[in-house]
Structure 1
Amino acid sequence: MSCLSRYDFLDLPAPVRRAVRAQTGEIRSDRTVTSGRTCAVASILETEGGWVFLKGVPLGDPRVEGQRREAAISPYVPHSCPRLLWAVDAAGWSLIGYEAVDGRHADYRSADDLRRVLGALEELRQETAPAGLDLTVAEERWGPYADEGTAHLFAGRSLLHTELAPDNVLIVDDRACLVDWSWPARGAAWIEPYLWALRIVAAGQTPAVAVSWARQLWSWREADPVAVRAFAAAVARVWHEFASGEPSRVNVHMAACAAELRAVLALGLTGEP
């Protein structure tokens, strides 16, 4: 998926800025956040009521659906996640405001940061996906890429973030906060540790190191190895498709990492999950 053009707050049309001020009160300063690719505006606003993280997408853009999912799931995410303050559609835009947190992106090459993310995933493990929301289920999201007869192995009741790239994890003091809930899902609890392990490999760690961190989570240790290997095959095919359709540096790298992690799990070189 290609990136949206990123607007500075002051470059937004005047009606959009007025709609934001109607939620925040006076805006004293703004700073554009350059990371991420799911929104057209991402700004830290200093307002009369405190600091706010603003995200916005033009209505009609396909990414607006992800922003709606993010707002809908916000009451159910772990308490360590930034709190949603408001969500409105105004002046042709979908706009959401979060409490702004002073943090940095996680470094998956750092054992200290991996330990902090481990704590966040332990907290997430306690969350059950809400029944009242129309969430994507794992067997439908990854099932089309799975070997025949294996998609049912991905089913479960756990709330999953599914996009644990370092940009979506903020380190605040000595804890990790999961942000950007654009792709939540319902599925087996071990899926999140697997997706985290893949991102650790993508950061430059070996599959053995990545799995050693994933294995510290109960859900991974209790997982059926057959299910994990089936999921690894499906995820590898997803990234292969992405890289074939859009051979960006990120997609090609992720496809190579997914294939590597799938191969070592299939051979049992990292130990059983």
Structure 2
Amino acid sequence: MSMSRLAWHDLPADTRAAVHEHTGPFLTSADVTTGANSGVAVKAYTSAGPVFIKGIPTDHRQVKTQRREADVNPYLPPSAPKLLWHTQGGGWDLLGFELIDGSIADYTPGSPDLPLVVAALTELADTPCPDIPLLDLADRYASYTSTPELFGGEALLHTDVAPHNVLVDSTAHLIDWAWPTRGPAWADPAVWVVRLIEAGHTPEQAEQWAAKVPGFRTAHPHVLAAFADANAHQWEEVRALEPRSLWKQRMTASAAAWRDHQRALALRTDA
């Protein structure tokens, strides 16, 4: 569920003061409206340089995602924005990141961003999984499948490659590491498949792009079919919470399209 978003100047004075201890006074700033997992998000330009700030109230159940982002950041690939500081003040938990002033990724067919996203996912696949507490993909999908053991692995995963979580300049940058997860290397490109379908690709075209990421090519067909089915169940649950949400309807339909494609492939393989 998304949370209400406040503008920077609507935050308590103590919260803004805690940030200014790290940044100094803002020269200019701009509130960010994209994304769904922060209570405040702002681009700030200071005499010390630009910074992206995101925050969540300390009494919000999602505040744990701030700690996850802080803990995993030192282990992320070079293209991911670096965490500059982590602070609390006025009832808010706040992270300050290197500012990536790029555009939201375009996943539509023919987009020049697609090869850049392949490169970012490949870079992530080549990044060692740190020996720190992370979420586990098999655990996260256990309620959506009878075979969660198929989703085990030792790769570092992002798991939420929505377009607004990928900023593009000359490179694609994976941002918003609220759900860092340990699992199989094929999982992030598999999650990307559904996003590509939602952007207008056929399931076959989406899988062709995902297959450019080496990890996806290592997945056994029956494992992909099981994951596509579990992913469809997950999106059905997400949509049920907000049945009138158009983007959740589209994502549910896209996940179902991939599941049906994978089922058809499995039937042909077994025949």
Using the size of structure 2 for normalisation, the TM-score is 0.95
Instruction: State the shift of 1:226 in Å.
Output: 1.0
Using the TM superposition, give the Cα deviation of residue 207 of structure 1 relative to its aligned residue in structure 2, in angstroms. 0.9
Q: Equivalent residues in 2 for 1:95-174 (5 A)?
A: 95-109=94-108, 110-131=110-131, 133-146=132-145, 148=146, 150-172=147-169, 174=170
Instruction: Specify which of 176, 181, 191 is matched with residue 180 of structure 1.
Output: 176
Q: Secondary structure at the match of 1:159?
A: strand
Distance in 2 between residues matched to 1:29 and 1:10, nearest whole Å: 12
Structure 1 residues 82-93: aligned runs within 5 Å: 82-93=81-92
Matched, 1:262 2:259: yes
Distance in 2 (CA, whole Å) between partners of 1:8 and 1:192 is: 32
Residue 208 of structure 2 aligns with which residue?
212
* Secondary structure of residue in 2 paired with 1:51: strand
Q: CA deviation at 1:43?
A: 0.3
Task: Give the deviation of 1:227 after TM superposition.
Answer: 0.8
- For structure 1, which segment, 155-164 or 103-112, has the greater mean C-alpha deviation from structure 2 after superposition? 103-112
- SS of the residue corresponding to residue 139 of structure 1 reads helix
Could you tell me which residue of structure 1 aligns to residue 68 of structure 2?
69
Whole-Å Cα distance in 1 between the matches of residues 240 and 7 of structure 2? 32
Q: Percent identity?
A: 41
| SS, match of residue 128 in structure 1 | coil
DSSP-derived class of the 2:167 partner: strand
1:61-119 Cα distance to aligned partner (Å, 9 max, x none) = 11211121111110111111111000112221100000112210000014311100000
User: Unpaired runs of 5+ in structure 1?
Assistant: none
2: CA distance, partners of 1:203 / 1:62: 31
- 2:166 touches 2:172 (CA, 8 Å); kept in 1? yes
Question: How far 1:124 sits from its partner (Å)?
Answer: 0.4
CA RMSD of superposed structures (Å): 1.4
2:246 to 235, 240, 249: 249
Is the counterpart of residue 54 in structure 1 residue 53 in structure 2? yes
Deviation at 1:266, TM superposition (A): 1.4
Q: Distance in 1 between matches of 2:94 and 2:214?
A: 37
Residue 7 (structure 1) shift: 1.6
2:17 and 2:101 mapped to 1: Cα distance?
A: 25
Take 2:105 and 2:76, find their aligned partners in 1: how far apart are those partners?
A: 19
Q: What secondary structure, in the 3-state scheme, does the structure 1 residue paired with 2:219 have?
A: coil
Could you tell me which residue of structure 1 aligns to residue 14 of structure 2?
A: 15
Q: Which runs of 5+ in 2 are unaligned?
A: none
Q: Determine if the alignment matches structure 1 residue 228 to structure 2 residue 228.
A: no
SS at 1:268 equivalent:
helix
Aligned-pair distance for 1:128?
2.7
> How many angstroms apart in 1 are the aligned matches of 2:88 and 2:12?
14
1:94 alignment partner AA = D
Partners of 1:93 and 1:264 lie apart in 2 by: 45
Question: Could you tell me how far 1:153 is from its partner in structure 2?
Answer: 1.0
Retained in 1: the 8 A contact 2:15–2:88? Answer: no
Deviation at 1:245, TM superposition (A): 2.3
Residue identity in the other structure for 2:188: E
Q: What is the deviation of 1:228?
A: 0.8
Distance in 1 of aligned mates of 2:213 and 2:99: 29
* Aligned pairs, number: 266
| Structure 2 letter corresponding to 1:256 | A
Q: Contact between 2:13 and 2:90, CA under 8 Å: does it hold in 1?
A: no
Q: Secondary structure at the match of 1:231?
A: helix
